[in-house]
A and B are shown apart, each in its own frame.
Chain A
Amino acid sequence: MKRTSIKIRSKKLDVNECRNFVTDASCGGISIFIGTVRNDTEGKEVYQLAFSSYKAMAIKEMEKIASLALEKFAIHKIAIHHAEGTLQIGEVPVIIAVSSKHRKAAFEACEFAIDTLKETVPIWKKEYFADGEVWVNAHP
C-alpha cells in the first residue's frame, strides 16, 4: 500500500483528491492544510503570484518530508500537492492532508510538513504588485 501522494502540477489542486487518498477506515481523523494566495504582503497589495520549481528535486524533497512525517508521527497516510504557474488571489498553491488513528498526530504531522516544505523544497514564489514584481525572500 502506498502511504504517500506527492504531486507538483500546473492545473488546479483538488482537496477531495488529497482527502480521498488519505481516507482509511482505521483512522479517526484527517487534518488538511490548504494554503491560499493572500492579497497583501506587509501592507502592499498583491494581485497575483507565480510559482516555479526545480521539479525533479522538489518531488524528491517532498517525498523526504512525507517519509519523515511517517517515521516521526503515528500517522497512516500523507498527501503533499503543490501547484506551479500563475495563481490568483484565493487560489490554492499547496495542500497537505494527513490521516491518523488519533487526531494529535495528524495535526502535528501536517504542521511539520508545511513548515519543512517552506524551508527545503525548491519552489519559488514571485509576487506581482501594481508597480512591479519581486521574488520572495531573494533580497535582504
Chain B
Amino acid sequence: MKLKLLFFGITSDLMGVRQLEIALEGLASVAYLKRVLEEKYPQLKECNSYAFAVNEAYALDSLLLKENDVVALIPPVSGG
C-alpha cells in the first residue's frame, strides 16, 4: 500500500524534506506506521511527541491505513 507522508514544523527539519512516499505491506495501523518510521528515521525520536493526521483529520493509533492515504506528522502545535 502506498502512502503519502507530510512533515511539518520540527519534523520537516528532522527529515530534511516536507513530504515523501512510503510503501507498506499488508494491514497497517497508524501505530504500526509510527514504528516503521522511527526505525527507518530514528531522528524523529528527537521530537518531544507528535500526533498523526490522516486525510486532514487527527487519527487514533488504531486507525487502519488505506491505499493513497495522506498521512501527516503533527508535532506539538503552537499557533496563536
Q: A124 and B8: CB pair below 8 A?
A: yes
Instruction: Give which listed residue, A118, A119, A122, A140, contacts B48 with CB less than 8 A.
Output: A140
Considering only CB atoms, which chain B residue lies closest to A51 in the complex? B79
Interface-centre pick from A94, A125, A135 (highest chain B CB count, 10 A)? A135
Interface size on B, residues (CB 8 A): 20
What are the residues of chain A within 8 A of B13 when measuring CB–CB? 135
What are the residues of chain B within 8 A of A51 when measuring CB–CB? 79
What are the residues of chain B within 8 A of A118 when measuring CB–CB? 77-80
Q: Which of B1-24 contact A (CB under 8 A)?
A: 6, 8-10, 13
Contacts from B to A (Cβ < 8 Å): 6, 8-10, 13, 46-48, 53, 56-58, 72, 74-80
